[in-house]
Structure 1
Amino acid sequence: MKFSRSVALLAWAVPALGSTYQVKETHFVPRGWNAVGSAPEDHRIELHFALKQSRFDELEKSLYDVSSPGHPRYRQHLSQEEVHELVKPTDETLGLVEEWLGSHGVDVHGLDYTPSKDWFTVTLPVDTVERLLNTKYSVYEHEDGTQLVRTPKWSLPEHLHDHIESIQPTTSFFRPRKEGRQFKIADELASFSANAIAEAQVENPTVDTVCNATAVTPLCLRTLYGTVDYTIQAHGKNKIAINNFLNETANHSDVNIFINTYRPEAKGFNFTTFIVNHGDDQQTPDTPEQLEDGKDIEANLDAETIIGISYPTKLYTYNTAGTPPWKPSAGSDSDTNEPYALWLKYVSSQSDDVLPQTISTSYGDEEQTVPRSYAHSVCKRFAALGARGVTVLFASGDSGVGSNGTCVSNDGRNRTQFIPEFPSSCPYVTSVGGTMDFKPEVVAFNERNGYVSGGGFSNHFERPHYQEKAVKGYVEGLDGLHDGLFNKHGRAYPDLAAQGRAFAVVWNGSVHAVDGTSAATPAAAGVITLVNDALVAAGKRPLGFLNPWLYAEAHKTFTDITSGSSFGCNTSGFPAQTGWDAVTGFGTFNFEELKDLALSK
């Protein structure tokens, strides 16, 4: 999809039509940000408009119908055209919005719409945007030097409030981060990796013989979760994808070294990259600055982990533009840093025969830095993917319930509270926590780099009905622990877990160990895509949105994790317990049992 970078402005402008302006949204400036000056008038902002979807209630009902075992429509996923019909705005919405934009001199013929027209982008100078939204933008600087052009509130003519859900960048100060942490360990990693090819050829592998906490390899994961003997049958039809943000891209050279070392039978395997909004796909050696920043460790981790488990399933990578820090200057285009909107705009345009059945994303934000309207708009677009039969997985975070010293509410009251993650807090995605060790697996953490598998309860989204029983029981079992620090009635996460510590990753030509739920998420995605492979090979539909089935019955096939906690915010955090818990969800995979259950439906 081609994205329009600008539209023509007419030489004249007339007052906005219809009604007086009323504030649409306010959002407190998060900690660490300070206004340092007015935004240059001719600085250009790429605005993302989310319009009200005309029949989202019907889409949501369809999503749950096709995702709930026992329903007559179970796995009868919607087509792209059917989803577009449900989410497209009404003619009234489109007419009123375009009339308003035209009254401010915007050429409405240059609006860059999604195929369903529920989302569009337009690039305009700050002074035009300030008139449109009756607001004032400033340059805000974070304590780490990152700069953004934002505003703490914006308004719309009153008659448009029910037609426009979100406009960004306005109040959004969120900063997507990679949920992965590299750490340096002793020479045993080098010696362990040197024996990897021999290990990869072990006959009748067991967890005891192929799993080592120093460096978790594909053979370990495949043995631990029971996929090692599965023969993939539908790799031409079944597809899996990863999202790369923040200028990350999977390096083909490093991936090939990884394959040759850890899955030599996959030698020559390649993946397809989709570039979104001029995203990065650098394949040349990193500069010293990029090496210092660890560029592409995350993307390599995701691609290598998935290939290690799901080869020869077709792999896509989506490389979406946008990364801080950014220095504003007159006449420059802003780094919108709104990656989910950009990516969703792109992927919603992909046809049913191209769209992957499983998508893994190892990035997240503090939920409180994401404006509620934007979070809900993005979450609805994830629901649309689920309705089309896509399993969307997100990492649950690497800071437990919140990093010590940062657990303060962003609502003007400066309350101490746990810090939930978005998009893991969206009820239409599957959130993945991290484990470590093998017999038994426990909650993942690493004191050396501050990593603790994340979990919690949303302040933006109510608890969905599919998790009511499991989560209510868990909250009651806490018996008042951490009361007042979290929203007992919010969407709880994660939903499940996978290994998330000391993954062997090839980066810059050599092996490194990486921790994080960003490792757990592609590992989980790899297992899920093998279940989909079995379904597709049997002539059945893929799993799609996983959670209703997971909470209803599939969790019975999982290995429960009952040791450890998501400590943080100077507390013990949420404990792992029998059954579902807010640190490992329902636990980790037993592939054979999960596959057989899926095939029985």
Structure 2
Amino acid sequence: MLSLCIAALVFCIAVYGLPESQSALKAYALKSSHMPAQQWTKTNAVSPNHVINLQIGLKQGKFDEVLRRLAEVSDPDHANYGRYLSAQELNKLTQPKEETTSLVTEWLSENGINPSQIRYSAARDWMYLDVPVQKANQLLAGEYSMYENHAGKAMIRTPDWSLPRYLHDHIDTIQPTNSFFNPSSNGLKPEAEPLNSVSIVTRPAQGPRDPVAAVCTMNRLTPYCLRALYGTQNYTARAAGRNKMAMTNYLDELSLAVDARQYLSKYRPDIIAVIKPSAKLFDLVSINNGTIQQTPFNPAQQAANTGIEGGLDVQTMLGIAWPTPLTIYSTGGRQPDFIPDDFTPTNTNEPYLDWVNYMLALDDDVLPQVVSTSYADTEQSVAKDYAIRVCNQFAALGARGVSMVFGSGDEGVGGKGCLRNDGSGKSTFIPEFPPSCPYITVIGGTQDFNPEVAADDPNTGFTSGGGFGEYFARPSYQDAAVTQYLDINNNFSDKYSGIFNTAGRAYPDMAAQSVNYGIVWNGTLRNLDGTSASTPAVAAILAMVNDALISSGKPTLGFLNPWLYKKGYTAFNDILSGGSAGCNTPGFPASKGWDAVTGFGSPNFPKILRNFGVDDKLDR
């Protein structure tokens, strides 16, 4: 009998190996390493008592099912098209397994973190805890230090962090750790004009269609021009009580109602004529104490051009899509419990993570159908584990029926400094994040009329961004279109060998006018370039499409790309000229069909409605 037991033990060891010891399981191993981007410099040690807010992203229980459901509700030919998940349904799919929550809680307890100190997201897939830096270093075997960039922004980060081996499959990411994310918008033309300056001819939105030539000039774009150009000028919203649109502000950016009202008085007097002087033009929501200031800009804000981007977005969206209700989500100010000290003057959390988790917790009847975001940063400035988890959060929001549109960037394929962020010194095109995420819709820029061409303004250095991501593989919905583009431009393989990822998520998906948008800022007229202009314009047009869909008893757009690449592209104005110059190269050219500078081109509202089988009478 003893010999049989010994034989069985020897067999098990031979087949399965020796079981890992408890100490081996608890031994730490590197989870993530990410080198700071070149503009970030390590400057100071951090006070060991300085408190940071750790956000622990637990592995979600059934995320594969979330992606499957997203694919179904976004495919116009699927039986489940438009049957978006409720908050409750999504939470059930993203809630971690019991084992995951238990193991992570035990690990924290062993390190002196009482379970009562832990806060959870609605789906319990995120843990939040406030710990001093010395405790964070202990938990993650990290070395948090102060880093500063050339603009003087400071953040606490640790380039490397580790976890016990047994937790690697249970934790996706922990933030803030090694993402050096500094989102920005672009395109300011600083010269100002008085509000009573002579402007271009405008005509009433009602009545017969006006030729584009009658209301459009490249000297300054107005809502009359944009509505005429893209075909929304004769559409009257009918579902404003059920249809909602939104935009985001970051970096203490502001959207002043007084400027928006002056803008509408000048460029949409028909709106001002029918609303009360006391009526709200938009709702403001503060996330993590993001600023929602409505008082005049102080001298420091004026010097920093604060409110230029926030003014552009809100004025563009109201000018096109009013009376659709607009909500402005302001994220990224100091947290309520944040105490600045000599080392950390500002909140160090990653803004997109705060925003998307807030949105996912909203009730179904509050969630907007379309959201415009005009901010991005280079993909390589973001740790891959962070980018993947945030991108997955975007996918979850898409499964709930939200269309998210982001600008493609304003420096072509990467501006002038195009080096890999790995110390190799090798050149590369610089894709941006979030644009490289496959679960959002990315907007490029155009200019001129009849025909539109890819945007390239030498006065500001703005060139419509586009390219191929490094972190995310090309999604199946765009495979045919992108493959065709690469085949037609097969000289890329030699010309740009090794400096872009031919198999990566390609962007943008579509485009719109992006040069010389007129806005009101601080009581003066300004012109602005950038995909930070085309993005809210597209968002407003999509809000009008949603209005028509709701009015016709059809589901709203949700995640656009499967429809766009499958059949929706026929409702867009193809852009055939221009390119995305950058990195001392011509970049990618515009061409027939999809291209890596304008996507499928600019929207044609009447054609989009017909593509969805909406009664043409709604367009008159």
Do they superpose with TM above 0.5? yes
SS of the residue corresponding to residue 376 of structure 2 reads strand
Matches within 5 A, 1:11-410: 19-184=26-191, 191-193=197-199, 204-267=209-272, 268=275, 270-322=281-333, 329=341, 335-404=347-416, 406-410=417-421
d(CA) in 2 for partners of 1:221, 1:16: 65
Change (3 A) 1:433 1:192: farther
**Aligned-pair distance for 1:111?**
2.0
Task: State the one-letter code of the partner of 2:115.
Answer: V
Asked if the contact 2:376–2:435 (Cα under 8 Å) also holds between the matched residues in 1, the reply is: yes
- Report the Cα offset of residue 18 of structure 1: 5.5
Q: Deviations over 1:108-163 (max 9, x none)?
A: 22322110011232221100000000111111222332222111100001110001
Paired with 2:192 and 2:483, the residues of 1 have a C-alpha distance of 41
Structure-2 separation of matches of 1:332 and 1:420: 29
How far apart are the structure 1 equivalents of 2:237 and 2:557?
16
Q: Find the residue that maps to 2:189 and give its secondary structure.
A: strand
2:597 to 578, 583, 590: 583
Distance 1:202 1:297, change over 3 A: farther
Deviations 1:235-290 (A, max 9, x none): 10000000111111210100111111111232245111111011101111112221
- Judging changes above 3 Å, is the alpha-carbon distance between structure 1 residues 578 and 197 closer, same or farther for their aligned structure 2 residues? closer
Pairing 1:472-487 to 2, within 5 Å after superposition: 472-481=483-492, 482-487=496-501
Render the CA deviation track for 1:458-479: whole Å, top value 9, x for unaligned.
Answer: 0010000000000011112222
Equivalent of 1:533 in 547, 565, 568: 547
Asked whether the equivalents of residues 209 and 234 of structure 2 are also in contact (C-alpha less than 8 Å), the reply is no
Say if 2:206 and 2:233, in contact at 8 Å, map to a contact too.
Answer: no
Name 1:10's counterpart in structure 2.
none
In 2: Cα distance, 1:260 partner to 1:55 partner: 50
Aligned partners of 2:575 and 2:591 also within 8 Å:
yes
Choose 472-481 or 221-230, whichever is displaced more: 472-481
Find the partner of 2:557 among 539, 543, 546: 543
Letter in 1 for 2:311: N
Structure 2 vs 1, CA of residues 248 and 185 (structure 1 numbering), >3 Å: closer, same or farther?
closer
| Residue 455 to residue 16, structure 1, CA distance change in 2 (3 Å) | farther
Rounded to whole Å, the distance in 2 between the matches of 1:266 and 1:120 is: 45
1:197 and 1:264 in contact (8 A); partners too: no
Match of 1:6 in 2: none
Q: Is the 8 A contact 2:82 2:401 kept in 1?
A: yes
- How far the C-alpha of 1:44 sits from its partner, in A, is 1.5
Cα contact 1:196–1:261 (8 A) shared by 2: no
Distance change (3 Å), C-alpha of 1:599 and 1:272: farther
Match of 1:552 among 559, 566, 572: 566
Distance 1:79 1:508 in 2: 41
User: Aligned-pair distance for 1:180?
Assistant: 3.6
- CA distance in 1 between counterparts of 2:121 and 2:483 reads 39
Q: Which of these residues, 438, 446, 453, is aligned with residue 435 of structure 1? A: 446
Specify which of 424, 427, 431 is matched with residue 413 of structure 1.
Answer: 424
| Change beyond 3 A, Cα 1:73–1:447 | same
Partner of 1:445 in structure 2?
456
Deviation (angstroms), 1:174: 1.5
Alpha carbons 2:511, 2:602 under 8 Å: kept: yes
64-73 or 333-342, which deviates more: 333-342
Distance 1:196 1:114 in 2: 51
Q: Which has the larger radius of gyration?
A: 2
Task: Output the CA distance in 1 between the equivalents of 2:517 and 2:524.
Answer: 13
Secondary structure of the corresponding residue to residue 587 of structure 2 = coil
State whether residues 41 and 330 of structure 1, in contact with CA within 8 Å, keep that contact through their aligned partners in structure 2: no
- Compared CA separation, residues 493 and 190, structure 1 to 2 (3 A): farther
Quote the Cα distance in structure 2 between the aligned partners of 1:444 and 1:202: 31
- CA distance in 1 between partners of 2:453 and 2:203 (Å): 28
Q: Which SS does the other structure have where 1:528 is aligned?
A: helix
Task: Indicate the residue corresponding to 1:8 in structure 2.
Answer: none
Render the CA deviation track for 1:4-23: whole Å, top value 9, x for unaligned: xxxxxxxxxxx999611000
Alignment TM-score, normalising by the size of structure 1? 0.93
- Which residue pairs with 2:10 in the alignment? none
Contact preservation (8 Å) 2:209, 2:233: no
Amino acid in the other structure paired with 2:236: T
Q: Gapped runs of 5+ residues in structure 2?
A: 1-21, 616-620
The structure-2 alpha-carbon separation of the partners of 1:201 and 1:82, relative to structure 1 and needing over 3 Å to count, comes to closer
Name the CA distance, whole Å, in 2 between partners of 1:345 and 1:158: 27
Confirm or deny: 8 A CA contact 1:46 1:334 kept in the other structure.
no
Partners of 1:125 and 1:148 in 2: CA distance: 15
Secondary structure of 1:434's match?
Answer: strand
8 Å CA contact 1:40–1:329 kept in 2: the answer is: no
Change (3 A) 1:519 1:553: same
1:488 aligns with 2:502: yes
Which runs of 5 or more residues in structure 1 are unaligned? 1-14
Deviations 1:181-207 (A, max 9, x none): 3343789x96443x5666768964210
**Deviation larger for 474-483 or 545-554:** 474-483
How big is the shift at 1:412? Answer: 2.5
Determine the structure 2 residue equivalent to 1:422. Answer: 433
Of 446-455 and 574-583, more deviation after overlay is shown by 446-455
